Structure 1
Amino acid sequence: MKIDHIALYTTDIEKLKAFYERYFNARAGEKYTNPKKQFQSYFLSFSEGSRIEIMQKSGIPARAQEEESMGLTHFAIAVGDKEKVDLLTEQLRTDGYAIVGEPRTTGDGYYESVALDPDGNRIEITI
């Protein structure tokens, strides 16, 4: 078994799509639109086969932006090596995105940093 995809609601689907395309080399599939439900989505694919579905629909309430909370708290994207973690973290910082966890080796041996996407979702950037 594997996790096929995670899904994220957003208020600006094009902005979120551009973020993952630019920084994580995601490839967007065709945009799906359901005018009756005022819903639209993209599946973003990554080179190793995992996907993120980004969705936009009117009337979806915002989630309180907590540092950490119950439920899904982050997802991790592996970029290949330590240097790429460092470079991507600095690029995101330079471009104005929040870095909420500086690059480091964790107690369980992972090398990672943590950044927020445009909607405040926590992304672990790892090897």
Structure 2
Amino acid sequence: MKIEHIAIWAEDIEKLKAFYTTYFKAKPGNKYFNRKKGFSSYFLTFETGARLEIMQMPSIPKTRNDPYRQFTGFIHLAISVGSKENVDSLTARLAGAGHEVVDGLRTTGDGYYESVVLDPEHNRIEITV
């Protein structure tokens, strides 16, 4: 078995699509739009075949989650970039473009080398080897 995809409700799917395609080399599928519901989405496919669905619909309320505090439930998306050097360079590139780095660069107690950045909608993205 494998996880087929993970989905994120978004306020601006175009901004998220640009973020994940620019920094994580995701390939976007065609935009889907359901006029009756006002629902739109993209599937973004990563090099390994993993997919992220970004969805938008006016009736979905804004999140109450605080990106700086941790709660139970889904908390981050981890993306492996292959090496410590890639973690360092991508983290620097994201920081230079104004994306907030909220943790790292660091080696965790269980041996992961990582940083944590916020995407444009304040979802936590863990960048790891």
TM-score, normalised relative to structure 1: 0.97
Please report how far the alpha carbon of residue 64 of structure 1 lies from its aligned counterpart in structure 2 after TM superposition: 1.8
Corresponding residue SS for 1:100: strand
Aligned counterpart, 1:85: 87
Give the distance between the partners of 1:4 and 1:85, measured in 2 at CA: 25
- The alignment status of 1:3 with 2:3, answered yes or no, reads yes
Structure 2 gaps of 5+ residues are none
- The alignment status of 1:15 with 2:15, answered yes or no, reads yes
Structure 1 gaps of 5+ residues are none
Give the distance between the partners of 1:97 and 1:115, measured in 2 at CA: 7
Give the distance between the partners of 1:41 and 1:74, measured in 2 at CA: 20
The 10-residue stretch of structure 1 (29-38 or 64-73) with the greater mean CA deviation from structure 2: 64-73
Amino acid at match of 1:37: K
Alignment check: 8 A CA contact 1:65 1:120 kept: no
Aligned counterpart, 1:53: 53
Aligned counterpart, 1:40: 40
Give the distance between the partners of 2:29 and 2:123, measured in 1 at CA: 21
After the TM superposition, which segments of 4 or more aligned residues of structure 1 sit over 6 Å from their partners? none
How many residue pairs match? The answer is 127
